[in-house]
Amino acid sequence: MLQCEMIINGQPVTAATTFDVINPATEEVFAQCQQGSAEHVDQAVAAARAAFPGWSRMADSDRAEKLRALVPLLEARMPEFMELVTKESGKPMAGLNGVGSGMEVGGTMAWIGFTADLELPVDVLQDDDEARIEVHRRPLGVVGSITPWNWPLMISIWHIMPALRAGNTVVLKPSEYTPVAVSKFVELANEVLPAGVLNMVTGGGDVGAAISSHPDIAKIVFTGSIATGRRIMESAAGNLKRLTLELGGNDAGIVLPDVDVAAIAPKLFAACFHNNGQTCAALKRLYVHEDIYDEVAQAIAQQAREVVVGDGLDEATQLGPMQNQAQLNIVKSLAEDARAQGATFLTGGQEREGAGYFFEPTVVTDITDGSRLVDEEPFGPIVPIIKYSDLDEVIERANNSPNGLGGSIWSSDANKAAALAGRMECGTVWINDHAVLHPHTPFGGVKQSGFGVEFGNYGLEEFTSLQTVKIMKA
Ligand code: NAD
């Protein structure tokens, strides 16, 4: 059985008890991790505080160099990390359109390298006979990172790297469902980083709560559900922590009648179903113009019938199991509700018999706003396709959601579609694409999808505060 330890002050740490990590394709336990506690959080925060002066005052180029050094370490062990990601998350090694563990580990390396190369230049606002005024970006101190289970390694890197690059030290708590690959990564990173710079405590929501309420943590970066985001915001108020909250999405895609259906159907399908829809910014509500509604729905259903579902360790698998039983139950209940309301299931709709948290790729039509499957985030392999006739009205319907993570418009006239982008209430609008992220492009939500952005310089700046320095000359 694979064992994982916590890392505090550069040292492996065990707890009194462990918890099991389940392979969602087989429901078998394949690893055990330490059941951390609030005391472990205290120890990790103390280590991170002690490491902060050395790390934040290190020459900027040396800090960047240490972070860059993590890329070859990971690259040398890429197959092993891919297998761990697949075993704990269910994500296939290759995956639909290449969205699998290879992308997760490859993306992790790309994000580390790109973020390590970012700079935070000093802004000179005035330099004359009277004074020179400079604005510096200073690190905040200890950053607490709390991550979800859908992209366990990559999302941890999205948190850790900009925090460290800006000179902060980190206490990370991965999801209790998927702590394995990231545990091994933190172990590896501690071969390069000074002790205490990157610490990890494993466990459940109680460990997360101990982090978000800790008086010596300056900022929390959290990716996960809206409900947990709210709790974190409340408990972070004690010492006015800075927050970046990347929360749930219920992204709408709007398909205009001028599209080439055959050309966009595979892209639409992948946008809805990659990683089984368990991506925050997957396409989750598809609005299609009435002129092409049946054609688009049938084309997507055909893709769903043909996609290869199975154990992610099998190279041919395009979609694996869902990651956990609780999320599978949510999808089942949304499907049952849609069925009870008289919606049409073009394909799928059932849990698969046998071991593993498998749900058939499911395409639902004859459904509209106001039903649970449209209004709530399914975070699973099921998509409602909704008919519309008027463009102004459909934009209103797309915006009529408490979420605002991403959205997309699909049209043969990209300029016309781009002109509509400003009317979408969401953090990212894609034209003829959806849920594709880049290390240089800011990503984040509006409304209850959270606030703050990640990636690029905009994301890096979120791990700093501004300090104005005025140097008198006269
Ligand atoms: P979750 O909120 O249940 O758990 C996320 C993390 O929070 C876990 O590590 C968990 O242990 C921890 N946690 C639980 N209770 C806590 C508490 N009281 N205080 C502090 N931490 C606590 O979310 P999940 O089920 O792991 O992830 C799925 C959700 O995440 C979906 O809604 C999805 O849309 C969202 N998500 C958003 C993004 C984004 O970038 N916006 C990315 C991925 C996932």
106-161 pLDDT, tens digit each: 999 999 999 999 999 999 999 999 999 999 999 999 999 999 999 999 999 999 99
Please tell me the residue having the least CA distance from ligand 1 atom 39. Answer: 246
Distance between CA atoms of residues 39 and 58, nearest Å: 29
pLDDT at 339: 98
Measured in angstroms, how far is the CA atom of residue 224 from the centroid of ligand 1?
Answer: 2
- pLDDT at position 20 over 90: yes
Q: Is residue 439 part of a domain?
A: no
Distance between CA atoms of residues 436 and 282, nearest Å: 9
Q: Helix (H, G, I), strand (E, B), or coil: what is residue 353?
A: coil
Q: Give the CB-side neighbour count of residue 345, counting CA atoms within 13 A.
A: 19
pLDDT at 285: 98
| Residue 246 designated active-site | yes
* 188 and 282, same domain (yes or no): no
Q: Is residue 363 part of a domain?
A: yes
Average pLDDT over residues 445-465: 98
DSSP symbol at 238 = G
Separation of CA 293 from chain center: 31
Measured in angstroms, how far is the CA atom of residue 175 from the centroid of ligand 1?
Answer: 8
Sorted by sequence, the CB contacts under 8 Å of residue 260 that are 6+ apart come out as 412
CATH number at residue 126: 3.40.605.10
Please tell me the residue having the least CA distance from ligand 1 atom 42. Answer: 280
Q: Helix (H, G, I), strand (E, B), or coil: what is residue 236?
A: helix
* 191 and 43, same domain (yes or no): yes
Report how far apart, in Å, the C-alpha atoms of 226 and of each of 202, 230, 405, 449 are: 21, 6, 12, 7
Q: Is residue 309 part of a domain?
A: yes
Average pLDDT over residues 364-385: 98
Are the CB atoms for 419 and 395 separated by under 8 Å? no
Residue 290 confidence class, pLDDT cut points 50, 70, 90: very high
Ligand 1 neighbourhood includes 146 CB (under 6 angstroms)? yes
- pLDDT at position 328 over 90: yes
421-453 pLDDT, tens digit each: 999 999 999 999 999 999 999 999 999 999 999
Residues paired with residue 31 on neighbouring β-strands, in sequence order: 2, 21
Ligand 1 neighbourhood includes 156 CB (under 6 angstroms)? no
Pair type for strands 18-23 and 382-388: unpaired
Note if the pTM is more than 0.85. Answer: yes
Report how far apart, in Å, the C-alpha atoms of 17 and of each of 201, 203, 291 are: 13, 10, 60
- pLDDT at position 31 over 90: yes
Q: Within 15-77, where are the H helices?
A: 38-57, 60-68, 70-75
DSSP symbol at 357 = -
Ligand 1 neighbourhood includes 324 CB (under 6 angstroms)? no
* 366 and 258, same domain (yes or no): yes
Ligand 1 neighbourhood includes 208 CB (under 6 angstroms)? yes
Q: Is residue 76 part of a domain?
A: yes
* 49 and 155, same domain (yes or no): yes
Out of 89, 201, 225, 405, give the residue to mutate to test ligand 1, the one with the largest number of ligand atoms within 8 Å of its CB. 225
Atom of ligand 1 nearest to the CA of 175: 9
Mean pLDDT, the chain, whole residue set: 98
Sorted by sequence, the CB contacts under 8 Å of residue 124 that are 6+ apart come out as 132, 133, 134, 135
Out of 33, 153, 223, give the residue to mutate to test ligand 1, the one with the largest number of ligand atoms within 8 Å of its CB. 223
37-66 pLDDT, tens digit each: 999 999 999 999 999 999 999 999 999 999
Q: Is residue 412 part of a domain?
A: yes
pLDDT at 13: 98
Measured in angstroms, how far is the CA atom of residue 473 from the centroid of ligand 1?
Answer: 51
Are the CB atoms for 401 and 375 separated by under 8 Å? yes
Report how far apart, in Å, the C-alpha atoms of 343 and of each of 213, 337, 380 are: 44, 9, 18
Ligand 1 neighbourhood includes 461 CB (under 6 angstroms)? no
* 221 and 271, same domain (yes or no): no
Measured in angstroms, how far is the CA atom of residue 334 from the centroid of ligand 1?
Answer: 20
pLDDT at 175: 98
Sorted by sequence, the CB contacts under 8 Å of residue 13 that are 6+ apart come out as 5, 6, 7, 34, 40, 43
Are the CB atoms for 434 and 283 separated by under 8 Å? yes
Q: Is residue 438 part of a domain?
A: no
pLDDT at 474: 83
Ligand 1 neighbourhood includes 379 CB (under 6 angstroms)? yes
Q: Which amino acid is at 104?
A: E
Average pLDDT over residues 311-331: 97
Q: Which amino acid is at 372?
A: R
Residues paired with residue 246 on neighbouring β-strands, in sequence order: 223, 450
* 424 and 457, same domain (yes or no): no
Distance between CA atoms of residues 304 and 328, nearest Å: 18
Average pLDDT over residues 331-355: 97
Percent residues over pLDDT 90 in the chain: 100
Atom of ligand 1 nearest to the CA of 249: 34
* 327 and 221, same domain (yes or no): no
Q: How many residues does the chain have?
A: 474
Measured in angstroms, how far is the CA atom of residue 292 from the centroid of ligand 1?
Answer: 37
Distance between CA atoms of residues 433 and 409, nearest Å: 8
CATH number at residue 329: 3.40.309.10
Determine the structural domain holding residue 465 and report its residue range: 2-247+447-472
Please tell me the residue having the least CA distance from ligand 1 atom 21. Answer: 208
Atom of ligand 1 nearest to the CA of 450: 41
Q: Which amino acid is at 95?
A: G
Ligand 1 neighbourhood includes 447 CB (under 6 angstroms)? no
* 281 and 225, same domain (yes or no): no
* 329 and 465, same domain (yes or no): no
User: Alpha-carbon Rg of the chain, whole angstroms?
Assistant: 23
Average pLDDT over residues 68-93: 98
| Number of domains comprising the chain | 2
Which entry of 246, 377, 461, 462 is annotated as an active-site residue?
A: 246
213-247 pLDDT, tens digit each: 999 999 999 999 999 999 999 999 999 999 999 99
The two structure tokens encoding residue 474: 């006269």
* 287 and 370, same domain (yes or no): yes
* 33 and 59, same domain (yes or no): yes
Distance between CA atoms of residues 347 and 300, nearest Å: 10
Ligand 1 neighbourhood includes 232 CB (under 6 angstroms)? yes
* 195 and 116, same domain (yes or no): yes
